[in-house]
Amino acid sequence: MHTLRIGHDPLGQIISRVANLSGEYLAPYRTEHIREAIERRLQALNLPSFEAYLAYLDVEPLEACATLNEAFVGVTRFFRDAEAFEALAHQLARRFRQRSDPLRVYVAACSTGQEALSIFILLERLCQALALPRPEPLLATDINPHAINAAREGVYTTEQLRDLSASIRRQFFGPSPHGFYLLDHYQQRIHYQVSDVLQGLPPRRFDLICCRNLLIYLKPPAQLHLLQSLHDALHPEGLLFLGAYESAASLPALFALVDAKHSIYSRRH
C-alpha cells in the first residue's frame, strides 16, 4: 500500500486519506480532478464541507472506494469523436495494408468498455475489408474494477448503442433483457484486466495503443512518464491514438506526428 501525504489543508487530507484507505496511488493525478470527484460525493451525501467529509471517512472507510469510483469512471461512448476513428482507420490501412501477421492492440484506461469495443469493431471490419489476418485478442485495462466488471459483462442499453449503425448492431450484438449484449465469440477476443497503466504497461510490443482522455487528468511529470512508457510498449512505427485535447508533442524524439487534428502519433525508432 502506498502512503500519500499531499498537504495539511482539508482537501489534501481527504486525498491522502482516500489513497491510504484504498491503497491506490493518487499523486500523479491533477488535484482539480480529484477535488471535482470529492465535491460530487459531498453533494450525493448531502455533506456541507470537506471537514465533514473527513469525519465521514472516519466512520465509513469504504467511502474511499466510492470516491475513486467517482473519479475514475470516465465519460465514454461508442466511437466518441467519430471523425477521429475514421482518421485512425485510414492510417491503419496505409501502414498495415501489406501486413502478414496479426495486429496487436492495447487500449488503456478503457472505462466500461465502449472505447475498447469501438477499436475492436474498427479492427475487425478493417481486417475483413483488406483481407488481413484477424487481429490478436485485444487487451484493455482500467484502474477501476467496477468499470472492468461492466466491460466484461458486455451488456449495453439501446441508448448506449444509438450511435452505432444497424449493420454493426446486427454483426456484433444480440438482444438481451437489459438491451443488447456483445456476441460471445467477439467478447472472448477482448481481454479486460484491472491495472494501473501508470504503474507499468504489459510486457509486450503493440502495433496500436489507444490511450484517450487520461493524460489530461495527470500532472505534467506523470504525463511524461506515461508517454515514455507508451513509447516503449509500441513496435517501431506503431501508432499511438490520444484524446482530442492531448498531445505527445512534448517528446518529439520519441513520437512523430501523424495526424495533428486527431491526435495520432507514431513511435520513432
- pLDDT tens, residue by residue, 2-32: 444 445 688 989 999 998 988 888 889 999 9
Domain range summary for the chain, segments of one domain joined by +:
10-72, 82-267
- Output the pTM of the full model: 0.90
pLDDT at position 198: 92
Please spell the DSSP secondary structure of the chain, one letter per residue: -------SSHHHHHHHHHHHHH----TTB-HHHHHHHHHHHHHHHT--SHHHHHHHHHH-TTHHHHHHHHHHS----TTSSHHHHHHHHHHHHHHHTT--S---EEESS-TTTHHHHHHHHHHHHHHHHHTPPPPPPEEEEES-HHHHHHHHHTEE-TTTTTTS-HHHHHHHEEEETTEEEE-HHHHTTEEEEE--GGG---SS-EEEEEE-SSGGGB-HHHHHHHHHHHHHHEEEEEEEEE-TT---TT-TTTEEEEETTTTEEEE--
pLDDT, one tens digit per residue, over 197-210 is 998 887 789 999 99
Q: Which of 60-69, 163-172, 198-207 has the highest mean pLDDT?
A: 163-172
pLDDT band at 138 (very low <50, low <70, confident <90, very high): very high
CATH number for the domain running over 82-267? 3.40.50.150
